[in-house]
């Protein structure tokens, strides 16, 4: 979403400046040192040229004590300028780091609340780039701009003050005019370059996101890339994206850095004008030198303010990309006044009433679903690929909301419940469970973060995972590697079942793994499942017919509708589709 173009630039950044509130003391100190730096630069240097040099290089050599005192003024001014400059920059970076931290956390928190649909629409590499790069860019604007907006005008005022003072001293006001004329002359290039920079910054950030996406995808598909020898294709893709990024980066560099030389040329014309004018009026070098200093020092802040404008333009592109995340509305919102659903009282009845669903408008995926699953019932969802089984199961935890109709749990419309309350009533075992790069214990505890060590181990025992965990180098404290890379497929699945045991929720949604396991693993998982489903309302997205022996009822999905319900024998006799699926795909397996 592009933020309205006509809003004032400063106004758009305003909410982000409030992030400085948490570091207001350090920021105030930074500004204080910035002011000292500004005054020491803007006024101190011309003053030195006006007052100090004439004493040192005057017609009469000054006495030694005066010479020492006066020359000491030179390092004193620079010391003041350097120390205050350093403290200003250091503190500004401190505040900037804190703003960046707060900004990233704010975006991350928002990402936790966004629904699955958001992630299916946006590339994860692009989101990574927004959280890492764009926050950094915006932080730069918030701190540098806030700092320079105070520091540079003060330097300008200091330098103009020096020009005024020196001009008055020489009773010649044209120098003042020369200084003030500079501002409108500089504004034109600042505006033109700023506008161009905004577009270039947008293109650059989008390309950074593309590069991150390619890298991210590559790192998550290392196995496939090697298995199918896609390395060269990947390298070419990355090279192309990196080259494009370079070209876009250079455009940003061009427009970011063209401004300073432009303003410097303007400044040179100003100084030349002053020199020419001074010479024609017979003003001596000792009188013109401080003025040239003061003139130059007044061009400096204008140049820096121009650079800030550039920064703001670059930041604006990042701001738009971050606001895209921050302003995305939750398409699965919690109700304003939620109905309560005490976990201990949930029976687990699930009812679909005239439910329709579409991921994209106009392409229905589920149509007119009317079913009731009784508490304690175990239902297997079967049907051809793409028939809508996963979608049906995903509506129950409200990963998506129905397009029409209602889903109820124990009579409560899901949309009247807080998502957190609703999801506490269920354990979900996905087809390919994701493990966190943490210990085995933590991975099981994902099912219940308050569980005791005994409860974790008991859950592992029931999932037939305890033994293999005990044999790991550090037992329950073994770190499983990114996505559980150090575990076998069967071990990962048993850890996912242990999570579900630990959660002990009244509703269980299980997307059966499609990958084949060895006979022992398969047997252990089937046994664990029989234990897990006891006394629960269970939905199993069944990919293997051996699993349906666990089910008390089977729903057959065809083209987004449930066309048949019943047990295996009934469906086998009444549905040609079921019979075909069973005969063709699962011949040889016995559904009990």
Ligand X SMILES: Nc1ncnc2c1ncn2[C@@H]1O[C@H](COP(=O)(O)OP(=O)(O)OP(=O)(O)O)[C@@H](O)[C@H]1O
Nearer to ligand X, 308 or 365 (CB): 365
Q: Which is nearer to ligand X, 40 or 365 (CB)?
A: 365
Please tell me whether residue 481 adopts helix, strand or coil conformation: coil
Binding-site member from 135, 262, 391, 553 for ligand X (CB under 6 A): 391
* Given 389, 441, 536, 564, the residue binding ligand X (CB under 6 A): 389
Distance CA 222, CA 265 (A): 53
String of contacts with ligand X for each residue 234-273, x by CB under 6 A: ----------------------------------------
Q: Among 15, 75, 333, 386, which residue interacts with ligand X (rule: CB under 6 A)?
A: 386
Work out which of 19, 305, 341, 365 binds ligand X, going by CB under 6 A.
365
Q: Which is nearer to ligand X, 33 or 557 (CB)?
A: 557
Binding segment for ligand X (CB under 6 A), chosen from 194-202, 261-269, 342-350, 388-396, is 388-396
- Going 232 to 237 to 241 to 247, the CA torsion angle's sign is positive
Between CA 519 and CA 525 the distance in angstroms is 10
Asked whether 427 and 509 are in contact (CB, 8 A), the reply is yes
Among residue numbers 335 through 364, which ones bind ligand X (CB under 6 A)?
Answer: 359-360
Which residue, 306 or 364, is less far from ligand X as judged by CB? Answer: 364
Could you tell me the smallest distance in angstroms from the CB atom of residue 136 to ligand X? 31
Contact pattern for ligand X over residues 27 through 66, marking x by CB under 6 A:
----------------------------------------
* Torsion 573-576-582-587 (CA) sign: positive
Strand order in the sheet with 350-358: 364-373, 350-358, 404-409, 412-413
Neighbours of 28 (CB within 10 A): 13
Residue whose C-alpha is closest to residue 422's, from 394, 448, 393, 396: 396
Q: Provide, rounded to whole angstroms, the least separation between the CB of residue 422 and ligand X.
A: 20
Q: Shortest approach of ligand X to residue 396 CB, angstroms?
A: 13
**514 exposed, middle or buried (CB, 10 Å; 0-12, 13-18, 19+)?**
exposed
**Cα 129-131-136 angle, rounded to 5 deg:** 90
Residue among 6, 385, 584, 590 that touches ligand X (CB under 6 A): 385
Residue 382 near residue 330 (C-beta atoms within 8 A): no
Q: What is the dihedral of CA 44, 47, 48, 51, to 10 degrees?
A: -150
60 CB burial (10 A radius; 0-12, 13-18, 19+): exposed
Minimum CB separation from ligand X for residue 120, in Å? 4
Rounded to the nearest whole angstrom, what is the least distance from the CB of residue 390 to ligand X in the complex? 3
For the bound state, the minimum distance from the C-beta of residue 384 to ligand X, rounded and expressed in Å, comes to: 7
Q: What is the Cα–Cα distance from 484 to 491, expressed in whole angstroms?
A: 9
* Segment interacting with ligand X, rule: CB under 6 A, options 23-31, 190-198, 311-319, 385-393: 385-393
CB of 565 to ligand X, least distance (A): 16
Q: How far is the CB of 442 from ligand X (least distance, A)?
A: 29
Largest CA distance in the chain: 121
Q: Among all chains, which residue has been given the structure tokens 């400063």? A: 10
Would you give the binding string for ligand X spanning residues 554-573, x where CB under 6 A is met? ---x----------------
Nearer to ligand X, 71 or 546 (CB): 546
Query: Shortest Cβ distance from residue 88 to ligand X (Å)?
Result: 51
Q: Which is nearer to ligand X, 210 or 511 (CB)?
A: 511
What are 178's two structure tokens? 């020369």
Least Cβ distance, residue 407 to ligand X (angstroms): 15
Closest CA to 352 of 298, 407, 302: 407
* C-beta of 315 vs 388, nearer to ligand X: 388
**Cα separations (Å) of 80 from 74, 157, 158, 448?**
10, 18, 15, 59
The site map against ligand X for 111-130 (x = CB under 6 A) is ---------x----------
To the nearest whole angstrom, how small is the minimum distance from the Cβ of residue 345 to ligand X? Answer: 31
Q: Is 197 or 402 the residue whose CB approaches ligand X more closely?
A: 402
Q: Mark out the alpha helices in 335-414 (DSSP H runs).
A: 389-395
Figure out which of the listed residues 388, 484, 506, 591 binds ligand X, where binding follows CB under 6 A: 388
Distance CA 255, CA 310 (A): 8
How far, in Å, CA of 565 to CA of 369, rounded?
Answer: 12
Among 220, 390, 552, 563, binds ligand X (CB under 6 A): 390
CA 234 to centroid of chain Cα atoms: 25
Long-range contacts from 471-476, C-beta under 8 angstroms, 24+ separation: 472/440, 474/439, 475/440, 476/439, 476/440, 476/441
> One symbol per residue from 513 to 552: x for binding ligand X (CB under 6 A), - otherwise; what is it?
----------------------------------------
Pick the binder of ligand X from 99, 193, 387, 551 (CB under 6 A).
387
CB 555, min distance to ligand X, A = 11
Residue 395 or 445 with smaller CB distance to ligand X = 395
| Residue where the block lists tokens 């180098």 | 473
Nearest residue (CB) to ligand X, 112 versus 385 = 385
CB 492 within 8 A of CB 439: no
| 432 sits near ligand X (criterion: CB under 6 A) | no
- In terms of CB distance, is 18 or 515 closer to ligand X? 515
Q: Name the minimum Å distance from CB 464 to ligand X.
A: 26
Nearest approach in angstroms of CB 151 to ligand X is 50
Distance CA 463, CA 508 (A): 15
Contact range with ligand X by CB under 6 A, out of 1-9, 26-34, 302-310, 378-386: 378-386
CA–CA gap between residue 572 and residue 567 (Å, rounded): 9
Residues engaged in binding ligand X (CB under 6 A):
120, 359-360, 365, 383, 385-391, 557
């Amino acid at each position: 979403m592009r933020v309205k173009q006509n809003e004032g630039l400063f106004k758009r950044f305003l909410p982000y400046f409030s992030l400085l509130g948490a570091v207001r003391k350090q920021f105030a100190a930074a500004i204080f040192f910035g002011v000292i730096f500004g005054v020491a630069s803007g006024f101190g240097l011309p003053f030195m040229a006006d007052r100090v040099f004439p004493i040192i290089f005057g017609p009469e050599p000054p006495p030694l004590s005066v010479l020492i005192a006066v020359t000491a003024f030179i390092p004193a001014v620079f010391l003041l300028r350097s120390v205050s400059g350093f403290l200003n920059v250091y503190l500004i970076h401190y505040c900037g780091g804190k703003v960046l931290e707060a900004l990233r956390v704010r975006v991350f928190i928002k990402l936790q609340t966004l629904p699955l649909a958001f992630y299916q629409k946006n590339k994860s590499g692009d989101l990574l780039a927004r959280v890492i790069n764009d926050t950094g860019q915006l932080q730069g604007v918030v701190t540098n701009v806030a700092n320079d907006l105070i520091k540079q005008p003060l330097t300008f005022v200091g330098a103009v003050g020096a020009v005024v003072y020196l001009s008055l001293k020489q009773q010649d006001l044209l120098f003042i005019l020369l200084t003030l004329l500079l501002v409108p002359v500089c504004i034109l290039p600042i505006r033109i370059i700023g506008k161009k920079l905004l577009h270039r910054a947008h293109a650059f950030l989008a390309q950074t996101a593309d590069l991150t996406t390619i890298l991210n995808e590559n790192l998550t598909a290392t196995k496939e890339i090697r298995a199918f020898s896609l390395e060269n294709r990947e390298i070419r893709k990355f090279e192309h994206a990196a080259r494009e990024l370079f070209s876009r980066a250079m455009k940003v560099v061009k427009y970011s850095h063209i401004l300073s030389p432009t303003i410097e040329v303007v400044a040179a014309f100003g100084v030349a004008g002053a020199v020419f004018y001074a010479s024609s009026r017979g003003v001596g070098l000792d009188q013109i030198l401080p003025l040239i200093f003061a003139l130059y020092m007044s061009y400096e802040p204008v140049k820096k303010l121009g650079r800030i404008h550039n920064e703001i333009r670059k930041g604006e592109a990042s701001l738009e990309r971050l606001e895209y995340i921050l302003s995305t509305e939750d398409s699965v919102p919690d109700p304003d006044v939620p109905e309560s659903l005490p976990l201990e009282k949930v029976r687990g009845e699930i009812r679909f009433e005239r439910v329709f669903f579409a991921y994209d408008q106009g392409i229905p995926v589920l149509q007119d679903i009317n079913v009731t699953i009784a508490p304690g019932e175990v239902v297997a969802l079967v049907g051809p690929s793409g028939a809508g089984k996963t979608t049906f199961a995903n509506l129950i935890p409200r990963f998506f909301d129905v397009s029409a109709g209602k889903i109820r749990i124990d009579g409560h419309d899901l949309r009247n419940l807080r998502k957190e309350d609703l999801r506490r009533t269920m354990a979900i075992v996905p087809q390919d469970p994701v493990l966190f790069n943490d210990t085995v214990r933590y991975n099981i505890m994902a099912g219940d973060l308050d569980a005791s060590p005994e409860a974790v181990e008991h859950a592992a025992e029931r999932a037939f995972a305890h033994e293999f965990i005990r044999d790991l180098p550090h037992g329950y404290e073994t770190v499983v590697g990114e996505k559980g890379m150090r575990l076998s497929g069967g071990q990962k699945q048993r850890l996912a079942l242990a999570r579900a045991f630990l959660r002990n929720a009244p509703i269980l949604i299980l997307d059966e793994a499609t990958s084949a396991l060895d006979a022992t693993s398969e047997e252990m998982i089937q046994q664990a499942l029989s234990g897990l489903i006891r006394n629960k309302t269970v939905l199993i997205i069944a990919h293997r017919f051996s699993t349906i022996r666990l089910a008390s009822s089977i729903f057959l999905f065809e083209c987004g509708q449930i066309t048949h319900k019943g047990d295996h024998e009934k469906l086998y006799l009444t549905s040609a589709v079921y019979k075909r699926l069973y005969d063709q795909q699962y011949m040889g397996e016995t559904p009990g």
